[in-house]
C-alpha cells in the first residue's frame, strides 16, 4: 500500500541534523495518523550524512534514503526525491528544519480541504508569517528578492524561494523540471502557473539554523533570481528600455527644434546624430519587446505540451515517475 505523504528532504553535509530532522518529521506525521514515507537525499555529502541515513533506514522501513557521490545541487536532489516519492502528497523540507514539521501538516491539511489546490507554499512574508533569528543580511536579501520575484511571476506570491512546500503528486509529475540548483523553486512556480495550476500559501515561521553550516550563497542566489526575473518578463524590460530611449530621443529632438526656432541650428551638430540613434534604438527595443512576448508564450506552450506528454505516459502505465532526473 502506497503512503499518503512523501517527505523529500535534500541534504548536503547535514550529519548533525539528519537523524533529528527525520525524527521530528516522523513525529508530526504520526500524530496525524497518516501513512507516510521519508525520502532524504544525500546530495554528495562529504561527512557522515549518508551513513546516518542508512542507520535510520535500518531502524525504520518508512525511511528510504538516496545518496550519490557528487554534489549536484538542491534542484537535482529534489528531482531525485520526486522521482522516488510514492505518496499522494509530496512535501519538501529543509534539512535544518528552518520550517517546523508542523508547517508540513498545515500545508497537507490545506490541500485536503480544497481538492482543486495543486500546491501550498509556506510563507514567512505573508500576513501572519514571521522570521526568527535569521541573520540580517540574509533576511534583507531574501525579502528584497521575493519582492522582485513577486512582480516577475505571472501571479503574485509572497514567498517564492522557500523550500517548505506541499504538492499533489499528480500535479508535480506534470511539470517539466530540469534545474539543478535552488532556482528549481522558481521553475516549479512558473511551470505551474503556465499550466493554470492553483497555488496557495500558509503563514509560517522561518527560523535560523541551529546546527551545522549554512549553505546559503548570496552572490549565486541574487544572480539566479535576477536572471529569472529578466527571463520571466523580458518584454517588460525591453519595453521600459525602449520607451526610455525613445523618450530621450524625443527630448533631444525637442531641444533641437527649439534651437531651430531660434535660428541657430547647425545640421552638423552631433546631437542630430544622437537624436536619430536614440529614436531608431528605441523603436528597435520596442520591436524586440513584442518578439520577447511571443517567445514567452511559446515557452508556455512547450511547458503545456510537455505536461500533456507526462500525463499520457502516466495513464499508459509508463514507468516514468516524477520529474526528469537525467543529469
Residue boundaries of the structural domains of the chain: 5-231, 234-315
- For the chain, which residues score pLDDT lower than 70? 211-234, 267-268, 296-297, 308, 310-311, 313-327
Alpha helix ranges (H) inside the chain = 18-31, 49-59, 74-84, 101-113, 136-152, 169-172, 184-194, 218-232, 234-261, 270-315
CB 79 within 8 A of CB 184: yes
CB 285 within 8 A of CB 241: yes
Calpha distance 213→202 (Å, rounded): 28
pLDDT of residue 282: 86
pLDDT of residue 312: 72
In this prediction the pTM is: 0.74
pLDDT in tens, 98-114: 888 899 999 999 999 99
State the fold for domain 5-231: Spore Coat Polysaccharide Biosynthesis Protein SpsA; Chain A (3.90.550)
Amino acid at each position: 500500500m502506497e503512503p499518503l505523504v512523501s517527505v523529500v528532504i535534500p541534504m548536503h553535509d547535514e550529519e548533525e541534523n539528519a537523524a533529528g530532522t527525520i525524527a521530528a518529521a516522523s513525529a508530526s506525521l504520526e500524530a496525524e495518523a497518516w501513512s507516510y514515507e521519508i525520502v532524504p537525499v544525500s546530495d554528495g555529502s562529504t561527512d557522515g550524512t549518508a551513513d546516518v541515513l542508512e542507520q535510520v533506514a535500518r531502524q525504520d522501513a518508512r525511511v528510504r534514503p538516496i545518496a550519490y557521490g557528487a554534489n549536484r545541487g538542491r534542484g537535482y536532489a529534489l528531482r531525485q526525491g520526486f522521482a522516488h516519492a510514492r505518496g499522494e502528497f509530496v512535501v519538501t523540507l529543509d534539512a535544518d528544519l528552518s520550517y517546523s514539521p508542523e508547517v508540513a501538516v498545515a500545508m497537507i491539511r490545506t490541500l485536503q480541504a480544497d481538492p482543486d489546490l495543486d500546491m501550498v507554499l509556506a510563507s514567512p512574508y505573508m500576513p501572519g508569517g514571521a522570521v526568527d533569528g535569521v541573520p540580517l543580511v540574509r533576511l534583507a536579501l531574501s525579502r528584497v528578492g521575493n519582492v522582485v520575484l513577486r512582480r516577475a511571476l505571472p501571479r503574485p506570491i509572497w514567498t517564492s524561494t522557500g523550500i517548505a512546500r506541499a504538492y499533489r503528486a499528480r500535479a508535480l509529475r506534470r511539470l517539466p523540471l530540469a534545474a539543478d540548483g535552488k532556482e528549481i523553486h522558481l521553475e516549479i512556480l512558473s511551470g505551474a502557473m503556465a499550466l493554470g495550476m492553483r497555488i496557495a500559501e500558509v503563514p509560517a515561521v522561518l527560523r535560523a539554523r541551529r546546527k551545522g553550516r549554512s549553505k546559503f550563497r548570496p552572490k549565486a542566489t541574487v544572480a539566479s533570481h535576477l536572471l529569472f526575473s529578466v527571463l520571466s518578463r523580458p518584454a517588460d524590460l525591453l519595453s521600459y528600455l525602449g520607451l526610455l530611449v525613445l523618450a530621450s530621443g524625443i527630448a533631444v529632438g525637442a531641444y533641437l527644434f527649439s534651437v531651430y526656432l531660434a535660428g541657430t541650428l547647425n545640421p552638423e551638430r552631433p546631437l542630430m546624430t544622437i537624436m536619430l540613434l536614440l529614436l531608431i534604438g528605441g523603436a528597435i527595443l520596442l520591436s524586440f519587446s513584442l518578439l520577447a512576448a511571443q517567445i514567452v508564450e511559446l515557452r508556455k506552450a512547450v511547458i503545456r505540451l510537455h505536461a500533456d506528454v507526462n500525463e499520457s505516459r502516466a495513464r499508459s502505465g509508463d514507468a516514468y515517475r516524477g520529474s526528469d532526473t537525467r543529469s
